[in-house]
């Protein structure tokens, strides 16, 4: 049963990532299905923050779909950039949550990897919001999130999910290139 859920989560997750690269609003529907399944798998693998994160992704999918629905196929969502200050604040907030929250996550939630789990969770929430808003740098955040997730899920022997995050990492490289080109085209 777990392996079947992993396969479906993998396929719908890839659908989300490819759709996000293409700035297609239906990516968010595919992402919602993938995230719901990943929440179930993460909960069963003693990764409670990842389970919560995946559940939040389902909610974010509704926001992303709504926000991206405001653009048209001939004019997909515009790509924007955030300031260095905004990124610095995100990293400071993430570090604060990791340092202050990790003992709680380990003691009360039984997290297998509390610091990494907290960091991946925080950065994932930021990256998802940035993706929904069309912020170019979301892809760089996804690189960090995907590498952390590869470690988390492989340590819990969820190999299908580990493979998904490896594919996500590769797609994020392509995503950066595609969105960078779109950003440059908008600015010229």
Helix (H, G, I), strand (E, B) or coil at 135: strand
Higher-pLDDT residue of 141 and 163 is: 141
Please say if the pLDDT value at position 1 is more than 80: no
Residue 54 burial (CB count, 10 A): 23
Q: What is the pLDDT of residues 96-131, one digit of tens each?
A: 999 998 887 777 777 778 888 889 989 999 999 999
Please say if the pLDDT value at position 172 is more than 80: yes
Domain coordinates in residue numbering, the chain? 2-71+83-187
């Amino acid at each position: 049963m777990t392996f079947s859920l992993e396969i479906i989560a993998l396929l719908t997750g890839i659908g989300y990532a490819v759709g996000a690269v293409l700035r297609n609003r239906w990516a968010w529907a595919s992402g919602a299905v993938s995230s719901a399944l990943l929440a179930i798998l993460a909960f069963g693998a003693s990764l409670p923050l990842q389970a919560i994160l995946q559940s939040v992704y389902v909610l974010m999918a509704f926001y992303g779909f709504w926000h991206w629905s405001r653009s048209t196929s001939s004019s997909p969502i515009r790509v924007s950039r955030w300031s260095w200050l905004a990124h610095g604040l995100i990293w400071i907030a993430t570090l604060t949550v990791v340092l202050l929250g990790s003992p709680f996550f380990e003691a009360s939630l039984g997290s297998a990897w509390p610091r990494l789990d907290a960091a991946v969770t925080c950065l994932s929430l930021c990256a998802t919001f940035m993706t929904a808003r069309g912020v170019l740098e979301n892809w760089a955040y996804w690189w960090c999130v995907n590498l952390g997730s590869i470690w988390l899920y492989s340590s819990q022997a969820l190999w299908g999910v580990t493979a998904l995050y490896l594919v996500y990492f590769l797609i994020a490289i392509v995503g950066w290139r595609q969105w960078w080109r779109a950003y440059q085209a908008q600015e010229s």
